[in-house]
A and B are shown apart, each in its own frame.
Chain A
């Protein structure tokens, strides 16, 4: 079983600035992946980045990177050089046993 917690319901950031979204998780799985998904107003769920739990190196995807602290069960997302198109709901999710468990989401607004 997995639980995923996002403690920041809403955040805002100035365009071109950096913002970090927090996520904590708990799991009984030994082999699992963690994901950040983005859901813009169009409602299409888009993969932002994923992290293999067995890898110590933090995943990076262009302006998006994660800080994966396995012992602390923490998985935060850093967005650098924020752009207006980054405005969306961001969901942290854990994968295991054929399903994803999602957090409640963080609504991110990028301010011009």
Chain B
């Protein structure tokens, strides 16, 4: 099976703009989670979607949002970008999204905010 794919791989934006990142899970996986990775804060959970429903959300401002489509593909959106949003954004997929499932990660999208 093909792995988790993320597009685009790299993005450069300026403050105040908005951005949309895309994640395609492994075929058959219904849960997609998003994480933000920065040198200072490490890996932080953003949110998780299962069957088009957000089941869990991390401690991030409302500027961060996401959605999932019927084919399990997911997008996350960041509005009114700030310099501190520069990070590697990772998505991961699992079959059911329970805590006992193994999460398989995509290669990430590197976002740079200038």
Chain A residues with CB under 8 Å of chain B are 29, 31-33, 35, 37, 42-47, 50, 52, 91, 95-105
Asked if B84 lies at the interface with its beta carbon under 8 angstroms from chain A, I say: no
In the complex, what distance in Å separates the CA atom of A29 from the CA atom of B43? 20
Distance of A97 from chain B, by nearest CB (Å)? 6
Closest 3 CB pairs of A and B: A96-B99, A45-B105, A102-B43
**Is there an interface contact between B103 and A98, defined as CB atoms closer than 8 Å?**
no
Cross-chain pair count, CB within 8 angstroms: 65
Total interface residues on B, CB under 8 Å, equals 26
Distance between A110 CB and nearest chain B CB, rounded to angstroms: 22
Q: Which of A31, A37, A43, A103 contacts B99 (CB 8 A)?
A: A31
Q: Which of A31, A32, A45, A100 contacts B45 (CB 8 A)?
A: A100
Asked if A99 contacts B102 (CB within 8 A), the reply is no
